[in-house]
Structure 1
């Protein structure tokens, strides 16, 4: 099973954070979990992952989750502006 397959089988935001070893504040995650995961998905869809090893995909997915989380960590989901979107 590829890393992308593993990620697509996850459902809880906490699973993504644990699997990708990204720290988070539970208060932020409780408010913005869906927004964070959607933003991460947006970032991943823009990546060219074809031909990359699972290790390289892991590092990109981890960075995308960190960026998505950072987009919402300092603001509410309704006011978060994304400079990368």
Structure 2
């Protein structure tokens, strides 16, 4: 596990939402929110973890909350999202649309392509 410098210290909640919006690397989120992580898990599932964190935050947080509450929700969402992917693969959760659409457990929708008979019988270039 990678231990963040501020893991046991209270996190700086000053203008936390704006600060989180400026972050770009997943490691920065873990550092700012004081959440420990295993670099191996993060390297495999970073996009999935961040997407899931965003989904959890969208359910719980609005900008009307105080910074302390937003920071607590953000930390809990990151911990929860990380645990989702630390214990199972990204394919098990299917966070992204492309994975949801290609779920082998679901039956494929019937795909029918209609080609008019006239287009087959008409010689190429003639109409």
The normalised TM-score by structure 1 is 0.87
Correspondent of 2:39 among 14, 26, 31: 26
Query: Which residue of the partner structure matches residue 53 of structure 1?
Result: 66
The RMSD of aligned alpha carbons is: 1.7
Q: Report how far residue 25 of structure 1 moved.
A: 0.5
Q: Indicate the SS of the match to 2:17.
A: helix
How many residue pairs match? The answer is: 82
Native 8 Å contact 2:61 2:73 kept in 1: no
Q: Bigger relative contact order, structure 1 or 2, given CA contacts below 8 A and separation 6+?
A: 1
Residue segments in structure 1 that go unaligned for 5+ positions in a row: none
Larger Rg computed on CA atoms = 2
Correspondent of 1:68 among 78, 81, 92: 81
Residue segments in structure 2 that go unaligned for 5+ positions in a row: 1-13, 96-127
Q: Report how far residue 55 of structure 1 moved.
A: 1.0
Cα distance between partner residues in 2 of 1:22 and 1:14:
10
Measured against aligned partners, the alpha-carbon deviations of 1:7-66 in whole angstroms (never above 9, x if no partner) come to: 111010000000000010000000000000000000111114343211111001000000
The normalised TM-score by structure 2 is 0.60
Cα distance between partner residues in 2 of 1:50 and 1:44:
11
Native 8 Å contact 1:71 1:81 kept in 2: no
